Structure 1
Amino acid sequence: MRELVIGTRKSHLAMTQSNWVRSQLLEHHPYLSIELEKIITKGDKVLDVTLSKVGGKGLFVKEIEQALLDEQIDLAVHSLKDMPAELPTGLIIGCVPIREDVRDCFLSRDGLTLEELPTGSVVGTSSLRRQAQILAIRPDLVVEPIRGNIDTRIAKLRDGKFDAIILAVSGLKRLNLCDEISEYLSTASMLPAVGQGALAIECREEDHEIRKLLSAIHDHATGNAVRAERAFLQAIEGSCHLPVAGFGVWENNKVQLTGLVASPTGKSVIKGIEIGTDPVAVGKKLAQKLMEQGAKEILAMV
């Protein structure tokens, strides 16, 4: 019996996602013995400032990736949207399971929708991507940063510190908290983060046994869609420092990728679509197109 150790953050959502991956692997490989190893990341410790000011996405993965490189764990489960565009040498995304709902959602204390929220209401989000798109729709609202896990953010909303908050639908679904949602935001009005709703199972590149085990739970359509999104992100040099969004759909052997670059104020928004059979080429082409349409100037100002 092969004994595997999955590295994970210790939050309720991270543990739920890692336990789901464990169950999927055991369903295909019942002879395995799989344990979870909780790892505290810098992103879990630094909760009083926005991610863009303290290092961006890598805050949630660096310690876990080091444990992988040190062979303390065999694989790691991440929310794909937390993964930087470039991975450390020696590590790869071994598989991407089927994607959950990609949308963002709106939670308000009084059950109001984004359109119904009174002028001057305070909306909590630490995502520049969400901030830019909210202000593009409702420039009369006030956006304030909010950190912490899902339960913490919902508690802050209930305590009256915010009139509304924005969260990913996928996390609420995985935690059975969809009753908290006041409004589902369409991808047309709120383009999701690159990789949103998808999990990334990271492993060592040379560990071919693990890679073979992971292939059983890889979803081809999700994998191709997020490859296009991540190629777009890498070409645009996107991170938590920049309001960048990307969403791909793989159908009929083609990916349709929608991308967005915006100013944090929401006053400038560049958006486009690219379609093709090569996910990476599509991502790079869309990035180039948006840069030529003015995204380069927006990014230079941020």
Structure 2
Amino acid sequence: MQTKPFRIGTRGSPLALAQARETRSRLMAAHGLPESMFEIVVLSTKGDRITDRSLALIGGKGLFTEEIEAQLASGQIDFAVHSSKDMPTKLPDGLHLSVFLPREDVRDVFISPVAPRLLDLPRGATVGSASLRRQALIRRLRPDLNVIVFRGQVDTRLEKLARGEADATLLAYAGIRRLGKLDVPTEVLDPEIFPPAPAQGAICVESRIGDARIDALLSAIDHAPTRAAVTCERAFLETLDGSCRTPIAGLATIGDGQLRFRGMILTPDGGTFHEIEATGPAADAADLGATAGRTIRERAGAAFFESWI
């Protein structure tokens, strides 16, 4: 019987802590365990420490996970809680994404003191975003806008906006909801027009492959529909060699055992894009995502991807 607290690794941002606490609460409810049986271990990552440059310039998504995964692999923590969209498609040997919690709202939100909607911003207005996908989609819809890099935690970005460093910004609605900041968005963007990042809104748990004790603990909170949807989206991303240099959107939805996927790739200027849709059994999620990725890559042609370099 477990006597020491399970150690949960996480980044230290308010959003990361909210996600770790949600995971802890679900595990407490599933197993009838007290809060004292879980210790949240806050770990600093390079991605958190370097906030003045885009992720594409300093190494990509792995900067938010490397230190945490090192502690997980060495046994210093029992499992780690992440935002699924921050996870690289290739994980370190011996680790896997073992659990996905029920997905939050997948949409992006527009936040601005200047205009109620993205389409209402005045010509030449400045929009700050750290995401190449959001930047490309903004330029696709409003090529007249000035788009700049805007990094940092949610509160940091909102403070930058309040100081006038930009006229607007975009964030994930899931994070806004988890932080209880529902009064902040001025527009919730339609995912048919402004599709989300692959795995957006989904919390995942990373653990060691073959750790039966932790597998038994975590399996009780795995949400199968979210797992299938995120598996499809990550397979699409992996097939396209997705990183923080690539504007890629993708969303899978599950109903009655069937999966519907819609993916999009864009040039960074938003001027050229390709879309694809796929449907099939949710059990075939990985194959559906990978096939969609190969198909859209062939359709776009090699020249399209040169614009990402």
Equivalent residues in 2 for 1:30-41, closer than 5 Å: 30-31=32-33, 33-41=37-45
Q: Which residue of 2 aligns with 1:10?
A: 12
Q: Which residue of 2 aligns with 1:121?
A: 125
Contact 2:114 2:121 in 1 (8 A): no
Equivalent residues in 2 for 1:149-164, closer than 5 Å: 149-164=153-168
Q: Which residue of 2 aligns with 1:19?
A: 21
Q: Which residue of 1 aligns with 2:179?
A: 175
Q: Which residue of 1 aligns with 2:75?
A: 71
- SS for the counterpart of 2:254 is strand
Give the Å deviation of 1:300. 2.2
Tell me the amino acid that sits aligned with residue 22 of structure 2.
Answer: W
Equivalent residues in 2 for 1:93-112, closer than 5 Å: 93-112=97-116
- Shift of the 177–60 alpha-carbon distance from structure 1 to 2, 3 Å rule, reads same
Give the Å deviation of 1:297. 2.6
Q: Which residue of 2 aligns with 1:215?
A: 219
- Shift of the 233–295 alpha-carbon distance from structure 1 to 2, 3 Å rule, reads farther
| Inter-partner Cα distance in structure 1 for 2:303 and 2:220 | 44
| Inter-partner Cα distance in structure 2 for 1:279 and 1:297 | 29
Unmatched 5+ stretches in structure 1: none
Aligned residues: 302
Q: Which residue of 1 aligns with 2:268?
A: 264
Runs of 4+ off more than 6 Å: none
| Inter-partner Cα distance in structure 1 for 2:130 and 2:40 | 29
Q: Deviations over 1:219-252 (max 9, x none)?
A: 1111100000011111111111110111101112
- Shift of the 295–29 alpha-carbon distance from structure 1 to 2, 3 Å rule, reads farther
RMSD over aligned CA atoms reads 1.0
Give the Å deviation of 1:111. 4.4
Q: Which residue of 1 aligns with 2:30?
A: 28
Equivalent residues in 2 for 1:41-60, closer than 5 Å: 41-60=45-64
Q: Which residue of 2 aligns with 1:289?
A: 295
- SS for the counterpart of 2:22 is helix
| Inter-partner Cα distance in structure 1 for 2:80 and 2:205 | 6
| Inter-partner Cα distance in structure 2 for 1:239 and 1:246 | 14
Give the Å deviation of 1:298. 1.9
| Inter-partner Cα distance in structure 2 for 1:227 and 1:295 | 25
| Inter-partner Cα distance in structure 2 for 1:118 and 1:48 | 27
Tell me the amino acid that sits aligned with residue 180 of structure 2.
Answer: N
- SS for the counterpart of 1:178 is coil
2:286 to 277, 280, 297: 280
1:82 to 86, 89, 95: 86
Tell me the amino acid that sits aligned with residue 262 of structure 2.
Answer: T
- SS for the counterpart of 1:264 is coil
Contact 1:270 1:295 in 2 (8 A): no
| Inter-partner Cα distance in structure 1 for 2:86 and 2:229 | 16
Q: Which residue of 1 aligns with 2:306?
A: 300
Tell me, yes or no, if structure 1 residue 141 matches structure 2 residue 136. Answer: no
- SS for the counterpart of 1:271 is strand
**Comparing 73-82 and 26-35, the one that deviates more:** 26-35
Q: Deviations over 1:38-57 (max 9, x none)?
A: 00000011110001111111
Q: Deviations over 1:151-192 (max 9, x none)?
A: 010011111111000000000000011101010001111111
| Inter-partner Cα distance in structure 2 for 1:175 and 1:29 | 26
| Inter-partner Cα distance in structure 2 for 1:150 and 1:183 | 16
Give the Å deviation of 1:281. 1.0
Q: Give aligned-pair identity as a percent.
A: 41
Contact 1:261 1:295 in 2 (8 A): no
- SS for the counterpart of 1:180 is coil
- SS for the counterpart of 2:177 is helix
TM-score w.r.t. length of structure 2? 0.96
Contact 1:262 1:295 in 2 (8 A): no
Contact 2:27 2:33 in 1 (8 A): no
Unmatched 5+ stretches in structure 2: none
